[in-house]
Amino acid sequence: MRVRTYEIGDTQEIVQLFYDTIHEVNIRDYTQAQVDAWAPAALDIASWTKSLSSKFTFVAEESDKILGFGELATSGHIDRFYCHKDFQRQGFGRHILAQIDAKARYLGIKKLFTEASITAKPFFESQGFLVVKQQEVERRGQKLINFAMEKFI
């Protein structure tokens, strides 16, 4: 397994990983209507390419298969951070987060912050993030609970 920077050719596989993970893993903590709103069947590849390219995006891969990805903005915000549905709890998220942490330190960022799903909250807590607040967000008419979390580095 290696962690590398995102390449435009990764977009389709990343979008599928995002969709599959939400629909097969996050469904434990959210309703079908909520996951459908969060990750609809028709995702815009062009907007994903633009978004992934605009941040420091790291990809974990093994045998040319993407196992996870995470994004870092120059503000310290970790927007999207997902591990493949079939490779949960195997350390890939820790490796991606270590790369994000190293990049943040290199850039002089003092605080990482994210909005973690109910599903992802235990992972971020295990990596030293603290809950700032629980919040309710709306996606395509559905209300979802997530957690504003932060970690000083």
Residue type, 142: Q
pLDDT at residue 83, rounded to an integer: 95
Using alpha carbons, select from 27, 19, 149 the residue that is nearest to residue 97.
Answer: 149
Alpha helices in 39-91 (DSSP H): 45-53
Angle at 18 between CA 129 and CA 8, to 5 degrees: 100
pLDDT at residue 121, rounded to an integer: 97
In-domain check, residue 142? no
pLDDT at residue 21, rounded to an integer: 96
In-domain check, residue 127? no
In-domain check, residue 103? yes
CATH number at residue 76: 3.40.630.30
pLDDT at residue 89, rounded to an integer: 85
In-domain check, residue 138? no
In-domain check, residue 119? no
Instruction: Label residue 17 exposed, middle or buried (CB < 10 Å: 0-12, 13-18, 19+).
Output: buried
- Domain range enclosing 52: 2-109
In-domain check, residue 53? yes
pLDDT at residue 86, rounded to an integer: 87
- Specify the number of domains making up the chain: 1
pLDDT at residue 148, rounded to an integer: 98
| Residue spans of the chain under pLDDT 70 | none
69 in Cβ contact with 99 (< 8 Å):
no
In-domain check, residue 36? yes
Total-model pTM: 0.94
pLDDT at residue 104, rounded to an integer: 98
pLDDT at residue 19, rounded to an integer: 97
In-domain check, residue 30? yes
